[in-house]
Amino acid sequence: MATVRFTSALKRFLAAPPAEVAGATVGEALAAVFEARPALRGYVLDDQGALRRHVAVYIGGEAVRDRVKLSDPIGPEDDIYVFQALTGG
C-alpha cells in the first residue's frame, strides 16, 4: 500500500490525514483517498481532474510528470506527498 500525505496547510479547511491506499498510478491512489474524503478532491484537482496549478505532488522526492492525467506509476512502498507550490503574498 502506498501512503499519501497532505500538506498541513489544508488543516485550516478540512481534515487530510495520511492515507494508505492501493493503486498503480498517482491518479488511482488519489482517487482512493478522495473516495473516502470527497471534499478533499477540489483542493487538489481542478474541475477536469488535473492537478491544480499551485499544487505539487512528489513521489519519493520527485515531482510527478503527468499533471493532467496523473499517470505516473507508483509502487506499494511509495510515499506520495501533496503540498502547495509557492504562490501569492
Partner 1 sequence: MAERLYVGTRKGLFELAPDNGQWDIAATHFLGDPVSAVLAQGDTVYAALDLGHFGAKLWRREGAEAWQELAAPAFPPKPEDAADDPHPWSLGKIWVIEAGGLPGRLWAGTMPGGLFRSDDGGESWLLNEPLWFMPERRQWQGVAGGEQPGISSVLIDPRNPDDIRVGVSTAGVWASTDGGASWSIINEGMYNEYMPPEQKGLPIAQDIHRLARCAAHPEIVWCQHHNGVFRSEDRGHNWHEITAIRPSKFGFAVAAHPRDPDTAWFVPAVKDERRIPMDGKVVVARTRDGGRSFDVLRNGLPQRYAYDLVWRHALAIDASGERLALGSTSGGLWISEDCGDSWSAPEARLPPISVVRFASN
Among 2, 4, 44, 64, binds partner 1 (CB under 8 A): 44
6-14, 26-34, 59-67, 70-78 -> range binding partner 1 (CB under 8 A): 6-14
Instruction: Classify residue 29 as exposed, middle or buried by CB count within 10 Å of its CB (0-12, 13-18, 19+).
Output: buried
Q: ∠80-85-86 over CA atoms, to 5°? A: 155
For partner 1, how many residues bind (rule: CB under 8 A)?
19
What does the block give as the cell for 45?
A: 484537482
CB of 14 to partner 1, least distance (A): 7
Contact string 52-81 vs partner 1 (x = CB under 8 A): x-xx--------------------------
Can residue 13 be called a binding residue for partner 1 (CB under 8 A)?
A: yes
Q: Is 9 left (phi over 0), alpha (psi -120 to 50) or beta?
A: alpha
